[in-house]
Amino acid sequence: MVTVKEPTAGTMAARTAVILFVFVIVFTGLLAGAYQWTLPAIQASATEEKMKLVNEVLPTASYDNDLLHDTLALAPTPELGLEEPSTVFRARMGGAPAALVLEAVAPDGYAGKIRLILAVQADGRVAGVRVTQHKETPGLGDYVEPKKDRNKERPWITQFNGLSLATLAEKEWKVKKDGGHFDSNAGATVTPRAVVKAVKKAVAYVDAHRDELFAAADKNAADRK
């Protein structure tokens, strides 16, 4: 009669380790394959979302270049309220500067930071502003976001359209409650006050750095050559 030798604890542990190792390798390979397969769709979706935001603040008829390939990387910029790197999209018409699309942050919203995207034309006028992220009180301070604003014909955020440092005096860049130009809803002035301040700072930043922002080398274009 042949006696079958039972595997030792060490042998069992080694087998288990090998099986787990093979499982991890196979699973990782499948994940990597799935990621590579879906990457084009993910990138296309991200590009589409970027252009949706850009198109909300800058009419497509105002430029003829590819904004996604004419960009400038900004380091963290305190003037814009940005603590992390950001991207500036540069619009051109016939090769001439048309507008800059950039991000900004209002750090002093009622419930925290309010993230913005805005377009400033080459002559310094605001083409459009949108709130991209906030935690303001629903039904009270969230009217700075167009889809939450009850005034659908003229949302609050559109008050910035066409304004510049040249057309609106510095003291006017405040809500009316503080003696300025901008309307605000009764009982909810903290949020618009923060947005107005952030937009003014962003417009001033563009005014001070316009030539530098437009003239900087397009690294993406250089990479494509």
> 9 with 97, same domain?
no
pLDDT of 42 reads: 47
Choosing from 15, 33, 57, the residue where a domain stops is 57
- Same domain membership, residue 174 and residue 84: yes
Let me know whether 13 and 100 are in one domain: no
* Pair 201, 163 in one domain: yes
Among the three residues 57, 88, 103, which one is the final residue of a domain in this structure? 57
Asked if 139 and 111 count as a contact pair (C-beta separation under 8 A), the reply is: no
Residues 9 and 64 in one domain: no
pLDDT band at 6 (very low <50, low <70, confident <90, very high): low
Look at residues 32, 57, 82 and tell me which one is the last residue of a structural domain.
57
Q: Are residues 52 and 133 in the same domain?
A: no
> Does one domain contain both 101 and 73?
yes
Q: What proportion of the chain, given as a percentage, has pLDDT over 90?
A: 57
- Which stretch of 56-70, 90-104, 136-150 has the lowest confidence by average pLDDT? 136-150
CB within 8 Å of 63: residues ≥ 6 apart: 91, 92, 93, 98, 99
Assess whether pLDDT exceeds 80 at residue 207.
yes
Give the pLDDT score at 167: 95
Both 65 and 171 in one domain: the answer is yes
Query: pLDDT tens digit string along 76-120?
Result: 999 999 999 999 999 999 999 999 999 999 999 988 999 999 999
Same structural domain, 95 and 24: no
Q: What is the pLDDT of residue 34?
A: 62
Mean pLDDT across the chain: 84
Q: What is the rounded CA–CA span in Å between residue 3 and residue 63?
A: 85
> β-strands 112-121, 126-133: how paired?
antiparallel
For residue 210, which of 148, 86, 123 has the smallest C-alpha distance? 123
Range of the domain at 153: 58-224
How long a stretch of residues is the chain?
Answer: 225
Predicted confidence at residue 22, as pLDDT, reads 75
- Please indicate, yes or no, whether residues 13 and 99 belong to a single structural domain of this protein: no
If one counts the domains in the chain, the total is: 2
Which of helix, strand or coil describes residue 117?
A: strand
Kindly state whether residues 14 and 72 are assigned to the same domain: no
The confidence score (pLDDT) of residue 39 equals 44
CA-to-CA dists, residue 55 to 87, 163, 178, 208, 222, angstroms: 16, 19, 32, 25, 25
Do residue 50 and residue 118 come from a single domain? no
pLDDT over threshold 80, residue 49: no
